[in-house]
Amino acid sequence: MTPEIFQDIYAYNFWADRQIWKCLDLLTDEQFNQVSEGHDSLRDEAVHTMGVEHWWLVFIATGKLWFLEPDEFPTRESIRTMWNRIEENVLHFLSTISDQDLQREVRPEFWAEGRKPIPVWQALFQVANHSTDHRAQMLARIQQLGGTTFEQDYLGYLVEKQQAAG
């Protein structure tokens, strides 16, 4: 794994995040905040996804844990503003990361005793994979609500990127 691979993975991740927001923005506030049996609200899913991207990347960059408080983000606008800020910070961080940085081991202090550290590259991969999982859950909920969805495949990102390049 190289820094360039993670720069591309996260470019894709944030492309897919922006696509999910196009879907979320078309929902009513009631749909966005609706909780149903066995499902968190789309608002809660969005805050959780954003929060994991935030705390892991802050932890990787600084060694400090900084969890977002869900109550600080009561509206789509407040969530989206923070999500955009996180994207900017992550992309900046990834533009400075080295091969050596990717091999450095990290271990959040709240992990169970005996759980071993993982290299930064695995943590970065976990975060991107986690976001894909939650986007898939949100897309399923949006579809259940009758909303518009999109294909979040990496190939879709590549096609759009190629078309933009001409």
Return the amino acid letter for 1. Answer: M
108 φ/ψ angles, rounded to the nearest 5 degrees? -60, 140
d(CA 79, CA 3): 28
Using one digit for the tens of pLDDT, what is the confidence trace for 12-62? 999 999 999 999 999 999 999 998 777 789 999 999 999 999 999 999 999
Q: Where are the domains of the chain?
A: 3-165
Task: Give the angle 9-158-166 at the CA atoms, nearest 5°.
Answer: 130
Using one digit for the tens of pLDDT, what is the confidence trace for 107-159? 999 999 999 999 999 999 999 999 999 999 999 999 999 999 999 999 999 99
Mean pLDDT of 61-80: 95
- 36 beta partners: 39
Pick the CATH number of 3-165 from 1.20.120.450, 3.40.710.10, 3.10.20.30, 1.10.10.10: 1.20.120.450
Nearest to 83 by CA among 143, 131, 146: 131
Which pTM does this prediction carry?
Answer: 0.92
